Structure formats: structure tokens, C-alpha cells
């Protein structure tokens, strides 16, 4: 508490939204943190394999297997000001969950901290991006997710890129790893307002050349969203909607490293522990470390 009796920042309000599980290396209080992790155990609109509601805690368990020190970044993550707020309390209404995510990310950003959200299905990113309207967006995803609505809901996981376009506008969304697009999405009059960098192109010319051709704005801040199905199932088998011929895990790491210092909001989603052999969980955990580590790296 501050000397005037008021709680610092928004720790009190945030505690009413979230439970109290923590990731290893998250040793700091909310007030003293720079990175704020929270889970959203929601998979109500998942259309193929459910189970991503179990992912936040599965990623935390996998994280326990990682070393706190990383020699590439020369960083001990236990010394980085990381806080884990636990999991968001959710119900079955995707609209209400999206609203809660929006409020949590809005609070964290207003306190000049970097939110790191662990999903859960991709629909929840629709809440987070409402707090980042001044940013561009990088998405890793096998699917274009550009339906205006799906199964009677605009908050379905298959609609997230369309929702993001409504918030951010044309020319600000770059989706890497695309290899599944419905005719409905492809024929949407607004489809061309998002830059989809197909997996086949990345695998053919490489991630560096693909980045050059994508022409991401150099002066922008970014929200970075990783749908684990964007990565080939050989590296990430346990996802809600697996799609063959994906990009490599190292390609995603390259993107994370290149844009981490410009990224002020991050999420990793669509991991379903029920179908995992352990690989997907530890990859998700390591990508969180890569984001924080590359952002903290001094040179």
C-alpha cells in the first residue's frame, strides 16, 4: 500500500479477476513487475479438439523443466521482474470472456507493463487487441481465421483476424504460416486488407526473405499472437486444429527475437494438453522465455 493508503497501480482490482497459480521464475509482485503473465482457460468455441482450457497450467508445469539461466541471452529469468497473476475466471459466454480479457490487458498496459497471455483458444485475443489499437499485429497461425462469424458467433476462434482488422484497420496485420483458408474467407471483400504470409512461401524462400517481402512497418509497436497450430505438427502436435506442412519452430523464434523489443503485448494459444507428448507444452514455455529474453538482451 502507498503512504496515502491507496493500493499501488491496479493490483487489487486485478486480483478479483484471477486465481493464484504461478509460473516458475515469476518471483516479483505485480507492483514491481515489468512482465505480467496470466492464463485464460477458455475453449468454449473450439471446433475440433478441445482441451486448450487446460493449457495455461500445462505450460506452467512444462516451464518448470527449463533452466532459469539462458546463456544465449545471458539472463537469469529469476532476476527479471516477472509476475504471474494466475488464471482468469471464465464462464461459457465468449463475449463476456473477451470483455474480461480486454479489461485485464487494459489495466496491465495502463500500468506500463507487458501482458503475456496464455490461452485458451484464439478468440480471447479479440479482447486483448482492443487495448492495442495504436499497434500493428503479428500473428502465427495455420488458418486465416477471417470468418465474420462462425457457428453463430462473432467471438469464435475462427473469427479472430476479422475482429482484429475491425480494431486495427487495413495494412496493420501480418499473419505468418497460413495454409488453410475457406472460400468464404478468400472471397471476403476485406481479405486483402490483411497480409497473409503463407507457410509454403516461408518454407521455400526462408523466414528472412519472407520478412523482407512482407514489409512490416519499422516504426510501429506490435501485438504478437502465437496460435501454436501455425507451427508444423511435427514440432507442436497438440493443438486444437492441426494442419500439416507448417513452419518450423525456429522460424517462429526468429520472428519473436526480431520483434520482441517492439512488442508490447504477447500471447500464446491453442495448445491442447490432452493430445500432447510433452513437446508442445515445453515449446510454448520456451517461446515465452524467448520473448522475455530477447526483449531483455542487452545487445
169-201 tens-digit pLDDT: 999 999 999 999 999 999 999 999 999 999 999
Distances (CA, A) of 279 to 51, 224, 265, 285: 16, 22, 25, 10
Read off the pLDDT band of 2 (50, 70, 90). Answer: very low
Burial call 157-191: b when 16+ CB within 10 Å, e when fewer? bbbbbbbbbebbeeebbbbbbbbbbeeebeebeeb
Is 154 part of a structural domain of the chain?
A: yes
Question: Which helix (H) or strand (E) element contains residue 211?
Answer: helix 207-214
Proportion of the chain in helix, strand, coil states, percent, rounded to 5: 40, 20, 40
Q: How many Cβ atoms are within 10 Å of 245's Cβ, its own excluded? A: 15
- Distance CA(225)–CA(175), nearest Å, equals 9
Q: Supply the pLDDT for residue 7.
A: 52
Lowest-confidence segment of 3-17, 120-134, 222-236, 253-267 by average pLDDT = 3-17
27-56 tens-digit pLDDT: 999 999 999 999 999 887 676 778 888 999
Residue-averaged pLDDT of the chain: 92
Q: Supply the pLDDT for residue 3.
A: 42
Report pTM: 0.91
Domain limits for position 23: 11-296
Which cell goes with 175?
499473419
Read off the pLDDT band of 1 (50, 70, 90). Answer: very low
Distances (CA, A) of 145 to 161, 220, 247, 257, 263: 5, 23, 17, 25, 22
CATH of the domain at 61: 3.40.800.10
Burial call 15-40: b when 16+ CB within 10 Å, e when fewer? eebbeebebbbbbbebbebebbbbbb
**Closest Cα partner for 117 from 49, 29, 197, 52?**
52
- Distance CA(240)–CA(276), nearest Å, equals 11
**Closest Cα partner for 226 from 170, 288, 298, 171?**
288
Is 254 part of a structural domain of the chain?
A: yes
Section 270-283 average pLDDT: 94
Is 3 part of a structural domain of the chain?
A: no
Is 117 part of a structural domain of the chain?
A: yes
**pLDDT > 70? residue 148:** yes
Is 168 part of a structural domain of the chain?
A: yes
Is 4 part of a structural domain of the chain?
A: no
- Distance CA(130)–CA(155), nearest Å, equals 13
Q: Please state the domain count of the chain.
A: 1
**Closest Cα partner for 43 from 281, 236, 276, 240?**
240
Is 6 part of a structural domain of the chain?
A: no
Amino acid at each position: 500500500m502507498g503512504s496515502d493508503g491507496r493500493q499501488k497501480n491496479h493490483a487489487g482490482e486485478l486480483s478479483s479477476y484471477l486465481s493464484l497459480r504461478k509460473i516458475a521464475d515469476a518471483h516479483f509482485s505485480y507492483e514491481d513487475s515489468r512482465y505480467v503473465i496470466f492464463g485464460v482457460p477458455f475453449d468454449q468455441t473450439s471446433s475440433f479438439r478441445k482441451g486448450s482450457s487446460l493449457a495455461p497450467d500445462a505450460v506452467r508445469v512444462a516451464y518448470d523443466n527449463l533452466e532459469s539461466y539462458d546463456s544465449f541471452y545471458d539472463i537469469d529469468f529469476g532476476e527479471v521482474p516477472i509476475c504471474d497473476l494466475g488464471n482468469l475466471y471464465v464462464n461459457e459466454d465468449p463475449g463476456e470472456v473477451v470483455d474480461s480479457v480486454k479489461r485485464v490487458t487494459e489495466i496491465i498496459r495502463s500500468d506500463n507493463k507487458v501482458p503475456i497471455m496464455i490461452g485458451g483458444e484464439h478468440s480471447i485475443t479479440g479482447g486483448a487487441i482492443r487495448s492495442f489499437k495504436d499497434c500493428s499485429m503479428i500473428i502465427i497461425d495455420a488458418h486465416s481465421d477471417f470468418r465474420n462469424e462462425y457457428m453463430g458467433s462473432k467471438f469464435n476462434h475462427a473469427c479472430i483476424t476479422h475482429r482484429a482488422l475491425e480494431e486495427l484497420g487495413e495494412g496493420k496485420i501480418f499473419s505468418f504460416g497460413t495454409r488453410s483458408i475457406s472460400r468464404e474467407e478468400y472471397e471476403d471483400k476485406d481479405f486483402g486488407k490483411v497480409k497473409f504470409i503463407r507457410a509454403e512461401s516461408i518454407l521455400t524462400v526462408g523466414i528472412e526473405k519472407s520478412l523482407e517481402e512482407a514489409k512490416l512497418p519499422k516504426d510501429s509497436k506490435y501485438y504478437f499472437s502465437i496460435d501454436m497450430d501455425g507451427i508444423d505438427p511435427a514440432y507442436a502436435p497438440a493443438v486444437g486444429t492441426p494442419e500439416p506442412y507448417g513452419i518450423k519452430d525456429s522460424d517462429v523464434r526468429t520472428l519473436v527475437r526480431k520483434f520482441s523489443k517492439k512488442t508490447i503485448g504477447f500471447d500464446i494459444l491453442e495448445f491442447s494438453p490432452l493430445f500432447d507428448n510433452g513437446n508442445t507444452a515445453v515449446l510454448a514455455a520456451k517461446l515465452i522465455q524467448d520473448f522475455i529474453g530477447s526483449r531483455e538482451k542487452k545487445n
